[in-house]
Chains A and B, each alone.
Chain A
Amino acid sequence: MNPLFHKWRPRSRPPGGSGGAALTPALVFLAATVFLAFAAVPRTAKVLVINSDASVAKYGEVQDAFRETIGADAMTQLDLSKAGESGLKRALAADQAGVIYCIGGNAYQMVAKLAKGRPIVLSTAINWQRFKTDPRTTRVIANELPAVVQLTLFRHFFPKLQRVGTVYNPAINKQWFEQAVQAGKEVGVEVIGRTVTRSSQVGAALAELTSHVDALWLTPDPVVLENEAAAQRYFTQADAARKPVFTYSSAFTGLGAALVLAPDMPTIGRQAAGLVQDHASAQAVSTPAGSEVTLNLKRVQQYGLDYNREALDSVNTIIR
């Protein structure tokens, strides 16, 4: 929400609401003029796009889709990895009006520090909750597909799926797990969890879990995925138990993930363009509206899994 717009609006209505009739037509005209002036700011001014690092492919995809939607003339852009803090300061000073669109967490952290109170849209930031964004000024597109979306797509691809297991650290993901259990009930999938507080406990948790579930659900839990070796061990253990792994990043396809559901980057760019236009009225946090699907048919066939062939029209990438 534009802070100026936000502050002005309550003042137009006197406390109790009984004094509205006392406003003279001239005052109404003046108020309307001021309202329109503030409301017009984000639409007419150029959007300042701060990309954390334009050489990162997914950031580039987001920015391209944003530019295609909003038009190249309606934006100025800055690659923070090249311009640095001094370049950002100059860009902010040269562009006092309009919304700032931050692609990636680095861009947001620096913009939040240097442009306090300015209207911001943030996307493509891992674990964005750690930034404690201000809902009065900032609109966020989350970087994770909601549990209900993932579970619905699990069922879409694997209609016979009944139980999916996940290992998580309750200090970080307790709330997420509870939501996942509820979402699982919507689609007829039982979500079974095992908690760990240290990475060294993951192996035992998986060993216990695999006999109770049809598939494993690997989420971005920093304890479970402490490092690359931990990820490697996770997939080796899942493969030994012949349990498919469903996960959130195509980085795991090389390790043998059977199904990857990730946010669709061009859709995030298009969503961001919409949030720039509707900044004042938009909700503080939006979920990614599109998904990108990778299906590992090699692994699916290796485990003899039944999959829904009609769902193939939802697949971006097939691994054979």
Chain B
Amino acid sequence: MPPRRQFDRRRALGVLAVVCLGGPFLRRTGAQATGATIHFYSPETNINNFGALKSEFDGFFASAGGHKFQPYSDRAAFEKALAGNAGLFLLSSWHYPQLAAKAAWQPRLIGQLREKSTQRHVLCAKQAVANVAALKGARVVSAGNTAFTLSLLADLLGPSQRTLITEQNILPVPKDMDALMTVDLGAAQAAVTTESGLDKLAKINPKQHQALVQLAKGPERLLPIIIAPTQPDAATQALLKVLTDMGRDAEGQQRLRLLGLDAFAPITDAQRNQLRK
């Protein structure tokens, strides 16, 4: 019996040492191991800021559960990741209805910008362009990729004139400001941008803004959404909570600004219905 007691004492001391010295380390690695990943792909912007997004979000998540941010430049790779049926996916509200596997995913959060969850797109051209018909075959710049821009143009031009501008006419550029300034400088005849992009130009460079005419305004479209598996695991639920709270935290909001958002909010039933259309 004495030897056994001695052994127990030694073992107890060992356990105590691990708890005191190694505990924080174990907690940290445990958190990292259980952190979830949010995957991101957007056809609405051509800006290559993936390195900044990855480091900024991962840096923020490091002290908030050890979650990870994974951006994609390729739509197919993003959709392939959906098949893993784990984590969260941040994507355009235009993209979501096109997902083949969307039944297994539930929209949970929606992006917010200045307390709004929608945005409009506009078609602008130089003042000399009298109407939409004059844009036949014209070079059109857009911060969205070609497929997204053609979809916007279908709304902006209407059924009778949607064929005026084809895939060959689209010039994707990184951001709205680039698109709007390109038209003024003559490298394109028209631009598809967000209404807020046009408002920004009006504030910064009124002369360039006045040189443009707004030919068409599209409908309100939902901002990007976050979807989750129908039954998310604990780590995914924890990440959803972190993302929901990010807009209330100065550091969190700074990261969301990289995505052109300032918060995420729970998605409403009305918005879910809109996504089904």
Residues in A lying within 8 Å of B, measured CB to CB: 146, 148-149, 152-153, 155-156, 159, 186-187, 264, 266-267, 270-271, 274, 277-278, 283, 286-287, 289-292, 309-310, 312-318
> What would 7 more interface pairs be, CB under 8 Å, given A267-B173, A287-B186?
A186-B206, A186-B208, A187-B204, A267-B46, A277-B168, A289-B178, A315-B52
By the criterion CB–CB under 8 Å, are B205 and A187 in contact?
yes
Restricting to B175-190, which residues have a CB under 8 Å from any CB of A? 175, 177-179, 181-182, 185-188
Contacts of A156 in B (CB 8 A): 177, 200, 204
By the criterion CB–CB under 8 Å, are B48 and A149 in contact?
no
Of B179, B188, B204, B254, most buried by chain A (CB within 10 Å of CB) is B204
By the criterion CB–CB under 8 Å, are B205 and A313 in contact?
no
B71 lies within 8 A of chain A by Cβ: no
| Distance in angstroms between the alpha carbons of A317 and B47 in the assembled complex | 10
By the criterion CB–CB under 8 Å, are A289 and B188 in contact?
yes
By the criterion CB–CB under 8 Å, are A289 and B173 in contact?
yes
By the criterion CB–CB under 8 Å, are B52 and A267 in contact?
no
B51 lies within 8 A of chain A by Cβ: yes
Enumerate the 6 nearest inter-chain pairs by beta-carbon distance, A residue then B residue, closest first.
Answer: A313-B260, A312-B257, A290-B173, A289-B182, A186-B207, A286-B187
| Distance in angstroms between the alpha carbons of A146 and B205 in the assembled complex | 14
Task: State which of B49, B56, B187, B204 has its C-beta within 8 Å of the C-beta of A152.
Answer: B204
Contacts of A270 in B (CB 8 A): 171-172
B18 lies within 8 A of chain A by Cβ: no
- The number of chain B residues with a CB under 8 A from chain A is 39
Task: State which of B207, B208, B259 has its C-beta within 8 Å of the C-beta of A313.
Answer: B259
Contacts of B179 in A (CB 8 A): 289
Task: State which of B141, B177, B206 has its C-beta within 8 Å of the C-beta of A314.
Answer: B177
Task: State which of A155, A271, A286, A318 has its C-beta within 8 Å of the C-beta of B56.
Answer: A318
Contacts of B232 in A (CB 8 A): none
B184 to chain A, nearest CB (A): 8
The 0/1 profile, CB within 8 Å of A marked 1, for residues 39-74 of chain B is: 000000111110110011000000000000000000
By the criterion CB–CB under 8 Å, are A283 and B173 in contact?
no
Contacts of B208 in A (CB 8 A): 148, 152, 186
The 0/1 profile, CB within 8 Å of A marked 1, for residues 253-277 of chain B is: 1100111100000000000000000
